């Protein structure tokens, strides 16, 4: 006897970040690219990578080193997205200081498994 796909976790997946996150800054951005926090999230969960783990390489790219694998659940296995939120203030007073300076979205619905290219 087997369970229906919905009860067997068929729609459940995990987005796993196993290597450093690297960003190539846009030259004409209206803010300074510097070592700030990075928030990775799905609809169900989020994980912050502190600015202490960020470094700027000689060619101007930003890299956040991942010490342990980051695992984020998703409950729409083939129609999810991974969000990258860059920046924000370290000081938060009410609604002030929470502005995200840049963001990106990686859609995961294009294939069952994917690997973002590594440098």
* Residue at 77 is within a domain: yes
pLDDT at position 47: 92
**What size, in residues, is the chain?**
119
pLDDT of residue 27: 78
Is 57 within the bounds of a domain? yes
Q: Is 114 within a domain?
A: no
Whether residue 2 is contained in a domain is answered as: no
Query: DSSP state, 44?
Result: S
pLDDT at 111: 45
At residue 87's C-alpha, the angle toward residues 49 and 43, to 5°, is: 65
1 domain-assigned = no
Please tell me the predicted confidence (pLDDT) of residue 97: 54
Is residue 44 domain-resident? yes
Average pLDDT, the chain: 76
Q: How much is the pLDDT for 25?
A: 79
> How many structural domains comprise the chain?
1
Q: Which residues contact 12 (CB under 8 A, 6 or more apart)?
A: 73, 74, 75, 77
* 48 inside domain: yes
- pTM value is 0.72
User: What residues in the chain have per-residue pLDDT under 70?
Assistant: 1, 5-11, 31, 77-78, 88-99, 108-119
Domain that holds residue 88: 13-107
């Amino acid at each position: 006897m087997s369970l229906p796909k919905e009860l067997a976790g068929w729609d459940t997946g995990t987005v796993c970040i196993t290597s450093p996150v690297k960003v190539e800054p846009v030259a004409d951005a209206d803010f300074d690219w510097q070592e700030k926090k990075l928030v990775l999230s799905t609809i169900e969960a989020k994980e912050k990578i502190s600015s202490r783990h960020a470094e700027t390489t000689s060619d101007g790219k930003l890299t956040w080193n991942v010490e342990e694998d980051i695992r984020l659940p998703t409950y729409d296995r083939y129609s999810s997205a991974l969000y990258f939120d860059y920046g924000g203030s370290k000081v938060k007073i009410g609604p002030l200081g929470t502005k995200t300076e840049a963001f990106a979205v990686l859609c995961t619905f294009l294939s069952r498994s994917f690997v973002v290219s590594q440098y």
